[in-house]
């Protein structure tokens, strides 16, 4: 996979948006469209099923040089040799960790991303040794029901202060992407605006055109 600093478009294989499609086929289309990173996100699904889905997707991402991110499950990311693992605040700081070195299952090749929702959390993520941070949700989104949007103010703060690669996330669409970029973002995570599109590869290409 390319260095995180060079990644621009971060997409998802989200179990909530499969709509009867095979995860590996979704991953292939996302890769064809130019995704730099793809996260497997499967809330409320047994770990053994998540492992099976990851095993299906990993050959697709490896063949195209796209980084595979496993959400929440550090052990699965480690065991399968995924490129990255993404953890939320509750999975890392609320679980008592303060630095990535405390995660005994983290090998030297596995990169770590952390969700952040406020400047103090972003500062903690950097201090904890995260390889990247997610900044959001910028707008209200169905993937984070009940969480208030952080607005473009947090994006502007991140552009001025966050020293590691970071991705704006949450309710980002082709329509509001120019505002997110104007606020200082250079990398974005996109879930529903791509997964609900009739042509996933084309949707990725449209986002990439703006990000380039």
> How many CB atoms are closer than 10 A to CB 196?
11
- 9-27 pLDDT, tens digit per residue, is 999 999 999 999 999 999 9
**What is the model's pLDDT at position 44?**
87
**Can you tell me the distance from the alpha carbon of 84 to that of 142, in angstroms, rounded to the nearest whole number?**
24
**What is the model's pLDDT at position 113?**
97
**What is the model's pLDDT at position 105?**
60
Could you please report the per-residue DSSP string of 95-137? TT--SGGG-TT--TT-EEEEEESSHHHHHHHHHTT-SEEEE--
Q: Which residues have C-beta within 8 Å of that of residue 45, sequence separation ≥ 6? A: 15
**What is the model's pLDDT at position 141?**
76
**What is the model's pLDDT at position 143?**
66
Choose among 26, 29, 106: nearest CA to 40. Answer: 26
Question: Residue 29 class from Cβ within 10 Å (0-12 exposed, 13-18 middle, 19+ buried)?
Answer: buried
**What is the model's pLDDT at position 108?**
64
* DSSP letter (8 states) at residue 148: P
* DSSP letter (8 states) at residue 185: -
Could you give the domains of the chain?
4-211 (3.20.20.70)
**Can you tell me the distance from the alpha carbon of 133 to that of 152, in angstroms, rounded to the nearest whole number?**
16
**What is the model's pLDDT at position 148?**
86
**Residue stretches of the chain with pLDDT short of 50:** none
Contact 67, 114 (CB under 8 A): no
- 108-121 pLDDT, tens digit per residue, is 689 999 999 999 99
């Amino acid at each position: 996979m390319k260095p995180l600093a060079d990644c621009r478009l971060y997409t998802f294989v989200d179990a909530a948006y499969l709509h009867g499609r095979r995860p590996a086929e979704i991953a292939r289309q996302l890769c064809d469209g130019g995704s730099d990173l793809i996260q497997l996100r499967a809330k409320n699904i047994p770990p053994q099923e998540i492992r099976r889905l990851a095993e299906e997707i990993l050959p697709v991402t490896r063949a195209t040089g796209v980084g595979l991110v496993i959400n929440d499950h550090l052990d699965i990311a480690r065991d399968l040799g995924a490129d990255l693992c993404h953890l939320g605040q509750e999975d890392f700081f609320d679980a008592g960790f303060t630095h990535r070195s405390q995660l005994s299952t983290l090998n030297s090749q596995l990169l770590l991303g952390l969700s952040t929702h406020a400047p103090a959390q972003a500062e903690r993520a950097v201090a904890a040794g995260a390889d990247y941070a997610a900044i959001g949700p910028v707008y209200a989104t169905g993937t984070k029901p009940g969480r208030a949007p952080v607005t473009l103010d947090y994006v502007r703060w991140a552009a001025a202060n966050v020293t590691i690669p970071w991705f704006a996330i949450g309710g980002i669409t082709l329509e509001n992407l120019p505002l997110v970029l104007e606020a200082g973002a250079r990398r974005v995570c996109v879930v529903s605006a791509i997964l609900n599109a009739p042509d996933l590869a084309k949707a990725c290409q449209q986002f990439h055109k703006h990000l380039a």
